[in-house]
Structure 1
Amino acid sequence: MNDRLVLHGIGVSAGTASGPVAVVTPAVGIDEFEPASVDADADGRRVRDALDQVAASLRERAGHANSETSKAVLEATAALATDRGLIKGVDKELKKGTGVTKAIHDAVEVYATKLRGLGGYMAERVTDLYDIRDRATARVRNLPEPGVPDLTEPVVLVAHDLAPAETATLDPEMVRGIVTEAGGATSHTAILAAQLGIPAAVQVKGIAEALASAENVELAIDGGVGEVIVAPTASDVAELKERSRRRAAALAGSSGEGATRDGHKVKLLANIGTADDAAKAATYDLEGSGLFRTEFLFLDRDAAPSIEEQTATYTSVLESFGTRRVVVRTLDAGADKPLSFADLGPEENPALGRRGLRLSQAREDLIDAQLIALAQASAAAPAADLWVMAPMVSTVEETTWFADKARAHGLKRVGVMVETPAAAIRAKQLLSLVDFASIGTNDLSQYTMAADRMEGELAHLLSPWQPAVLSMVRATCRGGEATGKPVGVCGEAGGDPLMALVLVGLGVTSLSMAPGKVNAVRAALRLHDLDTCRQMANYAEDAQTATDARNAVLNMADPVLRDLL
């Protein structure tokens, strides 16, 4: 009997693969037969011991992580395992007589609800928190921890969701692809999979049911379009291999500056988060970094990093790229990424609260120290092309405040992030005050569509193909054209070869993405002239739906482009 089944999700890491299935060991869950707690102190010690063991295990993994980004994710998760607020929550449940494993689950759920309410980066950490819950529960019950099984052959990994702690330590030689039922396009797991070059699809509904009654089944995956084939035929596997071959052929000549077929220049840049990321990205054939996220220096610390520490990090990043452009985003923290040393108090709706530049205005000491460090790094690397931009800017007043402050510290290239509809609509006014703008498509989609980017069920609303989001991009680019200022994109949309054509057609002058995506985007641009890109942009923005927009552009594209997706 042929059990072949085609499922569709969201492609988050391009590439094709096939192989036998390896299912991530599921969580053991609450012990339904456990007694009530009659000694809260003793049970509390058991839980703390389990959490300490989980933290130690995660730190050990961090020591073997394959990048600084992966290491940072693992260390942050380890710190979350021993968070005092979580432990207090468990103690509170135990004192009510709740059984040990249920106390862990209930306390974590209270904490998770708070993190979801914060939105942004903290909402992304709910997956980490559940991973800690499941590992601690397994240790308390003396059962195997959930996670990736020992692999003896290359596989396609399947999970309900995959914690960043698991993704960060995967071996691309042994994991050919990743398929999850949950997750989002901009989650840590999706980003890490792309960095590792592992084809991945998330939100693949029905994969668990499809595998439940099957044994020794194989999967085939196309991580570009999110297609997953259960029990693929020989022709399916052959088609995927042929698609990979065609993709390699299409990429073979991709090198040098980014430009359309008729020579219209588009800078192709890398998104980075650490000095180690910079060193690795600088080895790629690209034109610099369009987004250096500096918050990794600040998060999960009891005190802000010193000016000296920041200067050393920024100097290292600038030196890695030599004379190539480096766009630094100042601290993007606050309500949705709270800092223990910069707590501005509770807010009714933190996701719309004092984050990014708003935090900097409340804590000028933090932004001043960062700007001093950036100026010192620029002086230490005089050949560097340093650009500095502020996140979460909405008004002319905010733009003026940041521009004046940055220039007072001697920084020459000053810009703003466009992440809100307010900034997009008023781009001409904002850009008249600064040197450039960079569109963060992830947040711009979230705020335009009023849809939480961490809510998997709303993923369709968060597509950059939404015509309303494209209209926001066009409005920003019109502001750039009116003022003669460049407008880049540093959100995940910039790494999609098909979307890149639309963005260029709308007027975007640079695209920043995961380094591994640059070749495909460069090849896509060289297949099309600027007029075609503009036509694509018009069709996409005028479309009725996001699906219609993408289909219209795909139909206009050179057929070779399909092999790059």
Structure 2
Amino acid sequence: MADPGRPADPDGRLADGDPAGGRLVGGGLAGLGVSQGRAAGPMIRMASPPALPSPRQVANSAAETAAVVKALESVTADLRQRGSLAGGGDAAEILDALAMIADDPMLREDAEAAVRDGLDAPHALDAAFTHHRETLAALGGYLAERAADLDDLKHRAVAACLGLPMPGIPAPGHPYILVAEDLSPADTAGLGTDVVALVTEKGGPTSHTAILARGRGLPAVVACAGITALADGTVISVDGKTGQVGVGLTDEAVAQVRRSDREERERLANSSGPGRTADGHPVKLLLNIGSAADLRPGAEGVGLFRTEFLFLDRKREPSFEEQVAAYAEVFARAGTVVVRTLDAGTDKPLPFLDLPPEPNPALGIRGLRVDRVLPAVLDTQLDAIAEAARATGADAWVMAPMVTTPAEAAGFARRARDRGLTRVGAMVEVPAAALLADRLLAEVDFLSIGTNDLSQYTFAADRQHPGLADLLDPWQPALLKLIAACADAGRAAGKPVGVCGEAAGDPRLAPVLVGLGVTSLSMAAVCVPSVREELSQHTLEECRELAALAR
């Protein structure tokens, strides 16, 4: 029977203690494992940001203003260069979005105003970034996450202004495990090949660190309290599956960890074929992508095409023709593709939307709700998806984010079908949708459960709050019960219900989700082999037994 005091774990692999992380495990520490794999070696802590010098008298305001502008341009150019070298995918898109923030005219104007008020360039930059950070942090939700990104951008701008190297990843010239209080998207996206694993003191299962580490195939543990107290050079091991961090390993133990990881990766490299349980029950294994650059062989299609990345760095809405080209590039290469329409709003601000600020953006105009104020955006996107599908002959499915009521599902389905899109679905990201899953399925052809947001709204826990990471653990029984309710409704209606949140890529959780009745799992490409192999070790009845234990 599952322990009611912490997330369920039918395999019994979680350590006893504080579910928020940092608990001692056999002489080590533990947090939340967010990217599978094992590694061992010396740890090196992230360098501290540059210190501000003492304020100085401003003798030439024009020179200080020019220094502000030059620093912001330097940061923007550096991020854009990193983005171009990232080769597409999540890393490139995140870096481009950060470059857009650094290039924000309002930020520059605030810094210039601070110079006019008598501050020197470094302190003017610090004041402007701090003001913007406080504004975003007060709004909560996704904007609070952007506030943390502003800290990193501020440190980079101040360093550029002072003529210091940009803060970044250590380069000791040998393999090491990177340890940090937290990692910015720019840092995580720019990791070198000498970084073999990541451990952070803060963060959660849906943080940028977790998402990008999975994309790189790096073992990663977040929410590991006490990790930064260890001295540089301490030999540690990292298990990205269980979240355990061993401390003070012998040479023999290091060799064993590395050997075990190498053997596991070699075994998974030979994995192929469709998803199946040990007794042949089919489970589609699909990819989460942001563009054609994220496509990889080995999956059975795309379960989540996040189209908002096409819109992120734009001050004007992408044209119909641009959208058709982007969608067709994916459709032509991926077979079946489930397209999520624009998931944006005041919690994920896009300049061209020009939506007014809200007191609580996570509970405001976002996802499908943008259609309430800007219906033309969805009309153009549906037209483009339909045209790209016709041009390529692809099996294109389309689904709306943040669907809350059956009426919203019906309205979206009607507009999509009017354009010839025959497979129309709804994302389940709020408890109201899960509780009325049967009524949603009376209007649409499938459901896709976004466990990241569904966790946030079920537990009233900000996805980025470092102290609440345990509430966002996908093993939480309340979340599993909502997933089961959706799967039960799908089974009764004879319609598919998939999971496309980060939980889908957890090989330990995959049998539980299948046992609950989920018909497909969509994940980062690096997760597909291990999920495939784990499912192949359990019969459907065993999956159901694990699901009963977890609930």
Q: TM (normalized to structure 2)?
A: 0.91
CA root-mean-square deviation: 2.0
Unaligned runs of 5+ in 1: 542-565
| Structure-1 separation of matches of 2:286 and 2:74 | 40
**CA deviation vs aligned residue, 1:382-437 (integer Å, no higher than 9, x gap):** 1x221100000000111111000000011010000000000000000011111000
- 2:23 corresponds in structure 1 to none
Give the deviation of 1:28 after TM superposition: 1.3
2:313 is aligned, of 297, 300, 303, to: 300
Give the deviation of 1:41 after TM superposition: 4.6
1:18 is aligned, of 22, 37, 40, to: 40
Matched, 1:366 2:377: yes
| Conserved 8 A contact 1:501-1:536 | yes
2:209 is aligned, of 184, 189, 194, to: 189
Matched, 1:236 2:258: no
- 2:475 corresponds in structure 1 to 465
**CA deviation vs aligned residue, 1:247-302 (integer Å, no higher than 9, x gap):** 34763663211111111111000000012113xx2xx2110010000001111211
Matched, 1:269 2:286: yes
Aligned AA (2:320): I
Aligned AA (2:39): A
Give the deviation of 1:56 after TM superposition: 1.4
Give the secondary structure class of the aligned counterpart of 2:230.
helix
Does 1 or 2 have the higher relative contact order (CA < 8 Å, sep 6+)?
2
**CA deviation vs aligned residue, 1:208-258 (integer Å, no higher than 9, x gap):** 2111xx5x4333211222222333123432441353255347636632111
Give the deviation of 1:327 after TM superposition: 0.4
| Structure-1 separation of matches of 2:56 and 2:258 | 55
2:52 is aligned, of 20, 25, 30, to: 30
1:500 is aligned, of 510, 513, 517, to: 510
Alignment of 1:470-549 (within 5 A): 470-541=480-551
Alignment of 1:95-494 (within 5 A): 95-172=116-193, 174-211=194-231, 216-245=233-262, 247-248=264-265, 251=268, 254-278=271-295, 281=296, 284-321=297-334, 324-382=335-393, 384-494=394-504
| Conserved 8 A contact 1:490-1:512 | yes
- 1:554 corresponds in structure 2 to none
Give the secondary structure class of the aligned counterpart of 2:203.
coil
**CA deviation vs aligned residue, 1:472-509 (integer Å, no higher than 9, x gap):** 11111122122111100000000001111111111100
| Conserved 8 A contact 1:66-1:168 | no
| Conserved 8 A contact 2:204-2:472 | no
| Structure-1 separation of matches of 2:195 and 2:494 | 47
| Structure-1 separation of matches of 2:220 and 2:361 | 31
Among all aligned residue pairs of Structure 1 and Structure 2, give the percentage whose two residues are the same amino acid: 49
| Conserved 8 A contact 2:68-2:112 | no
Alignment of 1:31-46 (within 5 A): 31=53, 33-35=54-56, 37=58, 40-46=61-67
Task: Tell which deviates more after alignment, 268-277 or 147-156.
Answer: 147-156
| Structure-1 separation of matches of 2:499 and 2:378 | 23
Q: TM (normalized to structure 1)?
A: 0.89
Task: Tell which deviates more after alignment, 95-104 or 529-538.
Answer: 95-104
Alignment of 1:41-60 (within 5 A): 41-60=62-81
Aligned AA (1:219): I
Give the secondary structure class of the aligned counterpart of 2:350.
coil
Give the deviation of 1:66 after TM superposition: 3.6
Aligned length in residues: 526
| Conserved 8 A contact 1:18-1:237 | yes
**CA deviation vs aligned residue, 1:75-100 (integer Å, no higher than 9, x gap):** 22122112122223323434444454
| Structure-1 separation of matches of 2:270 and 2:545 | 26
Task: Tell which deviates more after alignment, 81-90 or 39-48.
Answer: 39-48
| Structure-1 separation of matches of 2:106 and 2:249 | 47
Give the deviation of 1:364 after TM superposition: 1.4
| Structure-2 separation of matches of 1:292 and 1:138 | 37
Aligned AA (1:191): I
| Structure-2 separation of matches of 1:99 and 1:253 | 59
Aligned AA (1:23): R
- 1:88 corresponds in structure 2 to 109
| Conserved 8 A contact 1:37-1:95 | no
Give the secondary structure class of the aligned counterpart of 1:316.
helix
**CA deviation vs aligned residue, 1:510-547 (integer Å, no higher than 9, x gap):** 00000110111111111111111112111111xxxxxx
**CA deviation vs aligned residue, 1:110-141 (integer Å, no higher than 9, x gap):** 21233334555443333432111001111222
| Conserved 8 A contact 1:399-1:416 | yes
Distance 1:254 1:450, change over 3 A: same
**CA deviation vs aligned residue, 1:140-191 (integer Å, no higher than 9, x gap):** 223332111334222212222222212223233x211112222222122221
